[in-house]
Structure 1
Amino acid sequence: MKVLKTNRIAVIIFLLFVLSSTSCLKDNLDFDKMTTTEWTPEFAVPLVFASLSVYDIITEDTSELFVIDQNTGQVALAYSGSLISFDIRDIIQLPDLNFEYLFNLSSQEISDFVNNGAITKSESYTYDISAQTDLKIETLVIEEGILELEITSDIQHSGELIVSIPGMERNNVPFEVTIPLDYNGSQISVTESVDLSNYTIEMNSGTQGNNEIGIQYVFSAEYEGQPITVADLIRIDHTFEKLEFLKIFGDIGEHTLLEQEDTINIDFFDNNQAGFFDLVSPYVQLSIANSFGLPIDIEIQTFQTRNFYTGEETDVFFTNFSNPFGLNAPAFNEVGETAFTNLNIDDQNSNLGSLLHSAPQQLIYRLFAVSNPGSATSPVDLPNFITNESQFRVDTEIILPLEGLAYGFVLRDTLDFSFGEQIDEVDSMALRIVIDNGFPFNANMQVYFADENFVVMDSVFSSSGEIILSGETDSDGIVIAPKRKITDIEFSRQRIDNMTNASHVIIESGMKTTNALDGETVKILDEYTINVNLGLFLAGKVNL
């Protein structure tokens, strides 16, 4: 079960005692107004009443406390972390695509050109981009990019070249560009740049079904009397450059999508230096949201807890848990949607319970994810798809239902301290602490006063006895009645001086749940409270 922070209660008790004793003394006794003889008064002053709920005692900044069983009100703690896959644009990058096509006229075509005074010639070619990318693209939706066409012509006649790509469309209009070829007495050289934003290219119409771009060329010219031979060439250089994709359909291939480590701080145990902690049913929940349209395996490469004080690191051992495991993915007709995978790691498929026995301060886990692994858990499923926003996110949550047992805990904390008031008139004082505990744990406590070098000068309690007694529990480990403990503490003048001269207080507390050494488990409910009453008795001399 979740261990209550008894050092937090100690801090509250101690600070209430210090603040209340000094302020009450100042508020009730105005020594400047008493100007006659010596007076030896005694005062008994009720100081503070504090009622602390389970939320006051347990909740930390990085945790969530929630009711996990609505029937009983049993609560649980949750600590969370997350990992996000690499940016898809860092994983999948479209290369610049470069093609060259040479175009000329045959002897017969030249003869017809001269005799007819004009010519129109069409040719087409299918380019395979497989040598320029590891992807096998069936369809590419371009977010942005440029097609640069560089044409040089040795034909000494003016005309035009129409370049069209039937499989590339924007708004249902196929790509086509007409480039004038004007002869001015020297070799024709023309450059044409075309914005490819929002074009869709189908690359699956060829024999191999992917990575093929079919381009058509139509050359036309008017005969102008200059000589022409079969050696006169039209050279067409194509460069698809600065390509960014919106969507890709096809075989994306095997890529590392994630290789990262995350640390979840279980800061509830930050001050714990020893002890044993056993939960009935802890679990870690992995919630994964995935928008990649392809098979993905995730492998848990590291999963361990770490205790700073003992140096103990405990690794998880899976017994009935697939590692690696496959992710659910959106179907081919669900582009832009998200599929979810939820997995639990618990005592049924791992040694998770033993990872928490030492009350560790951290859970460290490292995940590795790969696309299209071709494994039994994630066989290749084609075609894949990705978008420029594809990612998966792994949210990891440690859920600690507060049912179990704990013993041998030693909690230690150090605070800077200044008493802030001089109470020379007080010869002695006594503090009465009355605690009505509705939680199922016992606790002892000690508060040490130390100087600026952390040398202990005194302590609050004469011994580290129990000042908190466990509430009475039933057979289900639920508290059915609170238990009261009254503790009286006396401070002589010397002890008061030690306290007022202190620069630090060191708070130590130990705790155990009810009958923990007998193996009895208890539950923490949201209705539990612990009530603390402080009373102060003062005796001294006052010069009137």
Structure 2
Amino acid sequence: MQDEYNFDKLDDEMEVELGILSPIAYGSLNLEDLISEFDSTSFISSEPDGLLLITYQDSLFSYIADDLLNIPSTDFIQYFIESDFTLLPGFPGWNIGDTLVLQRSEDFPFSFSQGEKLDSMILDAGTLNFNISSQFLHTGNIIISSSNIKLNNVPFVDTIVVDDASGGFTADRSANLDGYTIYLEDSVGSDSMFLTMDFTVQLINSGAAINAGEEIEINATIDNMDFDAIFGYIGDYELITQSGDLDLGFFQNSLDGYIRFENPQINFNITNSYGVPAAVSISRFVGFKGDTDSTLLTFDSTIDTFGYAFPSIADYINNDIYKDTTISINSQNSNVSDFLAFLPSSIEYALSANSNPEGESGPYNFVSDDSQIDIDFEFVLPLWFQADSFALEEIIDLDLVDIDDDANFIERINIMLEVYNGMPLEIDFQVYFVDSLYNHVDSLFSLNSQPVIGSATIDETTGDVLSPGTKTSLVEFTGDEITALNTVRYGIIRAGLKTPSDSNGDLVSVKFYTDYLVDFNLSVSIDVKANTNDF
């Protein structure tokens, strides 16, 4: 055998060429999936017919009555019970041990700070404090009562015993008003409300005279008041004042182009249990793009100042005090479509609400201690729009630092993308490869091969999809191109969107439903060439 073959001349160098083809991704995406990639600040829902909605929500504010309305401590009584006659010892009917009764009734003003004219207050807590001094040289009783202060329909009564006949009697007294109702009375020709108090003084003859000008001084305050409910005209309060901002993620990732939504809505959802009418004014609503560019949302007089539902006294009695109102800013009462066409990435707002815009002539008021007003902000974008060159962009981590380790063995990488577009939307797709400083390294598609994924065919009248668009794209990377990718640290995904045009070349507004899908297959083939001398 050795005569026929010379194995010493056999070359031990071997070269292997191998082709590998593998699908690496496939699936279906709808517009909800696409938007979620570019916007994590919203949530996406659908209407009963399947129309997709992008919604941004924020709680503007929530106030309870206890935070807004306080009943101030009231020094409402400084009263003098004075003798206007002299009664000497031995006067008939005025002997030692006899009792002389003095009675007085007085209306005292009950003052507030905001022009309130309350007719009643139910107190969770409160204290009625008395400071009493007597110049009379007799013992006795001072009885303070009011049929305008009641607990379980029983009038308030308090008796102070005068046990010092020296003329220097003093006493401090506090009465608990927890759970009491205070009834206030109006008076013709006055802006104040009044509390009627009754005083009965029983003087027990100690043998001394009663001299004209001698008096009992009574000072009283109500403090530590915490109300369960108040009724009547509560005055002109600034119930709410609020300013803030809201990020719109969908537009934060948009670069340029044109998009116009057909039926966008900005909703103020209000839940209110104040039994008080109010007027809400929007003083500022501005959209910002970047740090400087801005646009103003304008609306007609029905939105500039608006009211909201409030419970009546009958609702209070029936324990049905929570009333809901939605104030909607839309294309019929504002420039919201033009506002959004500006592509604002954030908005700033300011609004306020004042009670009783009609003054005292308006509806009867009540407020309970847990009355509350909640206002939520909702920005609803139905996915019904027309767009041209509207670009979305997202940055992803894409570290290819190790790719050049195998570059010597890879002759070629082919990436094939097959797309079946069931959306009424033309998609111009690109991935840019950038280094750690976001400098451009390469792109997935060259300038002339960047795929435009054609829109599905639509019915121009309804905008409904009739048949999908299709696109197959092939990308090839070789030798030096593969090696250069080792500096790549990020990928920038850019999707340009365009809705179809009608036969006249005008853009058509189209609707996007939950069952509109983009099906795709992504596969890669790698041609490997390896030589044993390389190992």
Category of TM-score, reference length = shorter chain: 0.7 to 0.9
Q: Which one-letter code corresponds to 2:73 in the other structure?
A: D
Distance 1:453 1:61 in 2: 25
* Partner in structure 2 of residue 43 of structure 1: 20
* Partner in structure 1 of residue 195 of structure 2: 213
| Change over 3 Å in CA distance of 1:58–1:416 after alignment to 2 | closer
* Partner in structure 1 of residue 445 of structure 2: 461
Distance 1:541 1:445 in 2: 32
Distance 2:458 2:278 in 1: 49
| Change over 3 Å in CA distance of 1:206–1:265 after alignment to 2 | same
Distance 1:187 1:443 in 2: 97
1:445-486 C-alpha deviation (Å, 9 max, x unpaired): 332222223222222211162342212212221222222211
Q: Which one-letter code corresponds to 1:77 in the other structure?
A: I
| Change over 3 Å in CA distance of 1:380–1:541 after alignment to 2 | farther
1:343-395 C-alpha deviation (Å, 9 max, x unpaired): 322222222211111222223332221112228xxx84153222222333333
1:304-347 C-alpha deviation (Å, 9 max, x unpaired): 322228x4422233347353122232222222602333332222
| Change over 3 Å in CA distance of 1:109–1:472 after alignment to 2 | farther
Q: Greater shift after overlay, 234-243 or 454-463?
A: 454-463
Q: CA deviation at 1:420?
A: 6.2
| Change over 3 Å in CA distance of 1:69–1:417 after alignment to 2 | same
Of the three residues 289, 296, 302, the one matched with 2:271 is: 289
User: Normalising by structure 1, what TM-score?
Assistant: 0.85
Query: What SS class does the counterpart of residue 495 from structure 1 fall into?
Result: helix
Distance 2:40 2:246 in 1: 13
Distance 2:176 2:530 in 1: 94
* Partner in structure 1 of residue 496 of structure 2: 510
Which runs of 5 or more structure 2 residues have no equivalent in the other structure? 1-11
1:504-542 C-alpha deviation (Å, 9 max, x unpaired): 223333221222862222110110111221111112234
* Partner in structure 2 of residue 24 of structure 1: none
* Partner in structure 2 of residue 528 of structure 1: 516
Of the three residues 100, 105, 110, the one matched with 2:78 is: 100
Distance 1:312 1:543 in 2: 60
Q: CA deviation at 1:56?
A: 1.8
1:394-437 C-alpha deviation (Å, 9 max, x unpaired): 33322222222101223333333313644343232111111111
| Change over 3 Å in CA distance of 1:242–1:142 after alignment to 2 | same
1:87-130 C-alpha deviation (Å, 9 max, x unpaired): 43444322221121112334356645446622232222110124
Query: What SS class does the counterpart of residue 313 from structure 1 fall into?
Result: strand
Does structure 2 retain, via aligned residues, the 8 Å contact 1:75–1:525? yes
Which runs of 5 or more structure 1 residues have no equivalent in the other structure? 1-34
Distance 1:390 1:514 in 2: 52
Distance 1:382 1:433 in 2: 68
Q: Greater shift after overlay, 267-276 or 73-82?
A: 73-82
Of the three residues 54, 60, 65, the one matched with 2:44 is: 65
1:355 and 2:332 correspond: no
Distance 2:113 2:488 in 1: 74
Distance 2:472 2:231 in 1: 74
1:165-314 residue pairs with structure 2 within 5 A? 165-183=146-164, 187-204=168-185, 211-226=193-208, 228-308=210-290, 311-314=292-295
| Change over 3 Å in CA distance of 1:388–1:528 after alignment to 2 | same
1:391 and 2:349 correspond: no
1:419-438 residue pairs with structure 2 within 5 A? 419=400, 421=402, 422-424=405-407, 425-438=409-422
Query: What SS class does the counterpart of residue 79 from structure 1 fall into?
Result: strand
Q: Greater shift after overlay, 527-536 or 418-427?
A: 418-427
* Partner in structure 2 of residue 30 of structure 1: none
Query: What SS class does the counterpart of residue 358 from structure 2 fall into?
Result: coil
1:1-20 residue pairs with structure 2 within 5 A? none
Q: Greater shift after overlay, 49-58 or 523-532?
A: 49-58
Of the three residues 290, 298, 317, the one matched with 2:298 is: 317
Query: What SS class does the counterpart of residue 141 from structure 1 fall into?
Result: strand
| Change over 3 Å in CA distance of 1:452–1:237 after alignment to 2 | same
Distance 1:131 1:47 in 2: 75
Distance 1:54 1:273 in 2: 18
Distance 1:462 1:171 in 2: 86
* Partner in structure 2 of residue 128 of structure 1: 109
Does structure 1 retain, via aligned residues, the 8 Å contact 2:426–2:454? yes
Q: CA deviation at 1:252?
A: 1.4
User: Normalising by structure 2, what TM-score?
Assistant: 0.86
**Runs ≥4 residues deviating over 4 A:** 35-38, 108-112, 205-210
Query: What SS class does the counterpart of residue 93 from structure 1 fall into?
Result: coil
Q: Greater shift after overlay, 41-50 or 226-235?
A: 226-235
Distance 2:420 2:21 in 1: 21
Distance 2:432 2:417 in 1: 17
| Change over 3 Å in CA distance of 1:392–1:510 after alignment to 2 | same
Does structure 1 retain, via aligned residues, the 8 Å contact 2:299–2:334? yes
Q: Give aligned pairs, total.
A: 504
* Partner in structure 2 of residue 471 of structure 1: 456
Q: Which one-letter code corresponds to 1:535 in the other structure?
A: S
Distance 2:379 2:330 in 1: 10
Distance 1:457 1:54 in 2: 30
| Change over 3 Å in CA distance of 1:36–1:152 after alignment to 2 | farther
1:183-220 C-alpha deviation (Å, 9 max, x unpaired): 17572111111121111011126556961111111222
| Change over 3 Å in CA distance of 1:320–1:222 after alignment to 2 | closer
Query: What SS class does the counterpart of residue 136 from structure 2 fall into?
Result: coil
1:340-379 residue pairs with structure 2 within 5 A? 340-374=324-358
Does structure 2 retain, via aligned residues, the 8 Å contact 1:126–1:213? yes
Distance 2:259 2:170 in 1: 81
Distance 1:365 1:131 in 2: 32
Q: State the identity as a percent.
A: 26
Alpha carbon RMSD of aligned pairs, Å? 2.7
Query: What SS class does the counterpart of residue 481 from structure 2 fall into?
Result: helix
Q: CA deviation at 1:86?
A: 4.7
* Partner in structure 2 of residue 11 of structure 1: none
Query: What SS class does the counterpart of residue 356 from structure 1 fall into?
Result: helix
1:56 and 2:33 correspond: yes
